[in-house]
């Protein structure tokens, strides 16, 4: 599936989530419509799949899936690239990243900066000056790329009781 197809499939899975889980918040959703091209152009060079994601939707909020899965709006991503969010990881994995998502428990999701494409799961850890550090075994690759991450998100939408 393409990124556009995956986002549409995620949105379709949310249509009846309130019937499938008792804890559904009623606020799950995909914010449709492309993010402004001027904002998308500010992503680092080579972040093609993130560009495609943000040209497909503005954000994804899955409050009722696991303990929450969130793809942040692009203005938040760009702000986090300026330092408040993790832009470099140390510990189990050393990498430069683009933080673009989180869960409901304080963990982050980030794509390695191009030319790498791997999406990393950053469980709770230390964050100082844009540098994230963790020795947790849960600090690991989540998917080979953004498309793989969205496939994983879709699988969680189909089984919302499963967490990270």
Task: Give the mean pLDDT of the chain.
Answer: 93
Which of 99, 109, 93, 97 is CA-nearest to residue 74?
Answer: 99
- Where residue 7 falls among pLDDT bands split at 50, 70, 90? very high
> What DSSP line would sit under 27-82, residue for residue?
--EEEESPPPHHHHTTSPTT-HHHHHHHHHEEEEEETTSTT-EEE--HHHHHHHHT
Identify the pLDDT of residue 152: 96
Token representation of residue 22? 């008792």
Token representation of residue 142? 């989540």
Q: What is the pLDDT of residues 133-153, one digit of tens each?
A: 999 999 999 999 999 999 999
Q: What is the pLDDT of residues 70-101, one digit of tens each?
A: 999 999 999 999 878 999 999 999 999 999 99
Which of 64, 62, 82 is CA-nearest to residue 72?
Answer: 62
């Amino acid at each position: 599936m393409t990124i556009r197809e995956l986002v549409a499939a995620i949105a379709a899975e949310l249509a009846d989530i309130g019937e499938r889980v008792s804890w559904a918040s009623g606020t799950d959703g995909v914010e449709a419509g492309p993010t402004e091209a001027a904002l998308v152009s500010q992503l680092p060079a080579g972040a093609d799949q993130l560009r495609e994601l943000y040209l497909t939707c503005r954000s994804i909020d899955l409050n009722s899936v696991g303990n929450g899965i969130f793809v942040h709006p692009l203005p938040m991503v760009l702000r986090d690239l300026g330092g408040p969010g993790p832009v470099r990881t140390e510990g189990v994995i050393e990498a430069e990243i683009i933080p673009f998502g989180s869960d409901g428990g304080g963990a982050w999701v980030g794509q390695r900066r191009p030319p790498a494409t791997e999406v990393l799961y950053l469980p709770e850890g230390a964050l100082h000056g844009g540098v994230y550090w963790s020795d947790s075994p849960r600090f690991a690759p989540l998917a080979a790329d953004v498309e793989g991450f969205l496939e994983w998100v879709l699988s969680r939408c189909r089984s919302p009781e499963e967490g990270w």
